[in-house]
Structure 1
Amino acid sequence: MVKKLLFYKIIILTIIFSIFYFISRGGRLKLRYLFLIRYWKILYSFFSGVVLTLKVKDMNKLNVKLNTKFSPFYRGFAFEGAGLGIAILAFSLEKGKSFEEMTKQLSKKSIYQYYVGLGWFLWFLYGRKKGKYELWLKQIDLRHGIILFDGVGFSSCFKLYKSNPQVINNFKNFNNNQQRVCYQGFGRSLWFISRFDIIYVNKEIEKVDLQFQEDVYSGVGIAVAYSWFDRIEQAFMLLDKVPEEFKGPFCQGMAFGYEARRLQDEALWNKHIKAINKSTRQTILKWLFVLKHTEITVANEKEKDNFYLEWVDLLRENIYIKRFNSKKN
């Protein structure tokens, strides 16, 4: 009995020592510790959002549950999971039409996350059967519906890419625009696959078809900004490690990530934006100003079904000029 207690004490002390060791060490070890903690909290929030949605079903009650059960930082991941849960519920009703009705009733603050969650569901359900996706696309918002392919790209690669990099070839079953958004989702997943290692990310993107590399960097930028919203200045340091020709797409993705954060929770937004240095804060605010301006410009000039990618491309050009004008000239 005494030996058993002594054994357990040694195990506990070893675990405590290991935790403090990882915290105290700089560089990769500290980053891996951050990743492990954040990774599991994100997964818990996402799948809890799915379960709660299937359990509660009433969107008004679900809104209350999601806003009270999850901390502000991880709440957005729960709403993304709710998008997947709503997709499951909508499947047995009027599919895309029901999906739109329920998401609008739940909250308009997480519109992008809902379509990502829908993409998760459709990939699990249909895989590479392109025609099945078209049935949903005809019933959902034309401007944002294509974002579901971000969820397809993320969910199809998240667990399989490391053991089978050829999994990205599944994207070839979709048209060019849909593939672009799939690669954006792949970029988001790559940030987590790499365990927040931008050097690994750069090396993997080099293997991707050149025409889609910008879209992958866009996805990485979204993931960095969103998952490191409490580490904004560290996120900006990553820009020095992104190849010059891809800084525009990376910054465009970061702008999307920050805009998603701003829309979801104004109090959390103000807390973190006010805590950073003036130069970085001004850059982000300029990005969001340009983001809004380009959104309005594209909305007035383009057909609805081309809206999202036209907006992405125009924002990339303008953000690169705004942030890196001195380097480009």
Structure 2
Amino acid sequence: MSASWRAVRRRLMTPSHNETKLSTRGFHEKSPEARETLETVGATFLDGYAFAVEARDQDEAHQWLERIPVRFRGFAYEGAAMGLAMLDGLPVPGKGRVAAFLAGHGAPHDYMVHVGIGWAMARLPRFRWASVAPADPLLRWLALDGYGFHQAYFRTQRYVREQYRDPSFPWPGDETRRYAGHAIDQGIGRALWFIGGTDPAVVADLVDGFAADRRADLYSGVGLAACYAGGADEAELLHLLERAGRYRPQIAQGAAFASTARVESGLLTPHTELAVRVLCGLAPPQAAEVCTQARPAPVVDGRLTAYEVWRRQISERVSSGAPWART
């Protein structure tokens, strides 16, 4: 495909940056600084998407992605994964782009790549999901996390205000499908950090408006977004812990996941260091080590999915030594 046709494909397939403006979405604006952070995240995601759709190959996409500032680069890789998954899921020449990306330049960003696949799922017809379903038996659940984020972000009335939950979600379609709603809620929780404008009080009010049996997963997503995307200072993070109450261990687990994603990709930032210290009482490499040590091998699903067992072990380990656990 010529460069000119790839450029046309980029223009046709890439959503407008206006779609990620807080004013467009009707999200809470805490401050101009928080708005700028969240809108930059959204714009960078779409830039990554556009790079992947237009690039000649993943090497060229990688060159473009690596120019993104460290704080936002992970979101660009997430967007790139969505773009590649969209191409895999559409009737266009060539397949296996996401798998090749995970085996290549996307490998250090595997958390974000799997989340990006979920964004594509939300935009593709369900009968095409099999063409983009992740093969990793553990991280595949992050695709549903990405799906949940997308639905809450773009269909806020339905998924947040009305708290819709699909009782018969069709993916991954095996005996573990009962876990799908939990993974989707973890993504919805991440989106609540954006919808609430990084304001812990607003975000906590949103979470607490959901049924009690959904809040653990939602708060886990909130903790991940607070640590990875940032936007809150130390006092605000402490207020988030106070509001989370019994769900503090889930907040800590989400923060540990976020820290691991940034450490493994070499994209550590001061706001992540602050958040993981406040929420987990650990330095980012320590939190990443907890996640690595708890990671199941081999991955065997039982009454609980291996992914949920992993999350619970992380939660127990990081929260046992957290400052708030001693008060």
Q: Return the TM-score normalized by structure 2.
A: 0.77
Q: Match of 1:218?
A: 220
Whole-angstrom distance in 2 between the partners of 1:281 and 1:170: 30
Equivalences for 1:117-156 in 2 at 5 Å? 117-126=116-125, 129=126, 133=129, 136-137=132-133, 140-156=135-151
Q: 1:325 to 1:41 in 2, by over 3 A?
A: closer
Deviation at residue 121 of structure 1 after TM alignment: 1.0
Superposed CA offset, 1:228-265 (max 9, x none) = 28x67456424443332100000110111111111222
The answer to whether the Cα contact below 8 Å between 2:114 and 2:140 also exists between their aligned partners in 1 is yes
Superposed CA offset, 1:68-117 (max 9, x none) = 2x11111111111001111022224676x542123322321111111111
Q: Match of 1:81?
A: 79
Whole-angstrom distance in 2 between the partners of 1:34 and 1:163: 28
Whole-angstrom distance in 1 between the partners of 2:120 and 2:64: 22
Deviation at residue 54 of structure 1 after TM alignment: 0.8
Identity %: 21
Equivalences for 1:278-297 in 2 at 5 Å? 283-285=282-284, 286-295=286-295
Q: Return the TM-score normalized by structure 1.
A: 0.77
Superposed CA offset, 1:137-169 (max 9, x none) = 3x6222211211111111111133257735542
SS in structure 1 at match of 2:103:
helix
Q: 1:93 to 1:251 in 2, by over 3 A?
A: farther
SS in structure 2 at match of 1:302:
coil
Q: Is 1:176 aligned to 2:178, yes or no? A: yes
Q: Match of 1:264?
A: 265
Identify, as 1 or 2, the structure richer in helix: 1
Aligned length: 288
Residue type of the partner of 1:141? D
Whole-angstrom distance in 1 between the partners of 2:279 and 2:209: 32
Q: 1:263 to 1:34 in 2, by over 3 A?
A: same
Superposed CA offset, 1:251-285 (max 9, x none) = 1101111111112225x45x667889999896234
Superposed CA offset, 1:154-211 (max 9, x none) = 1111133257735542443324311111001100110000011111222222222322
The answer to whether the Cα contact below 8 Å between 1:160 and 1:167 also exists between their aligned partners in 2 is no
Q: 1:161 to 1:58 in 2, by over 3 A?
A: same
Q: 1:104 to 1:301 in 2, by over 3 A?
A: closer
Structure ID, larger Rg: 1
Whole-angstrom distance in 2 between the partners of 1:115 and 1:277: 22
SS in structure 2 at match of 1:299:
coil
Whole-angstrom distance in 1 between the partners of 2:183 and 2:275: 31
Whole-angstrom distance in 2 between the partners of 1:162 and 1:181: 20
Q: Which runs of 5+ in 1 are unaligned?
A: 1-27
Equivalences for 1:277-316 in 2 at 5 Å? 283-285=282-284, 286-295=286-295, 298-300=296-298, 302-303=300-301, 306-316=305-315
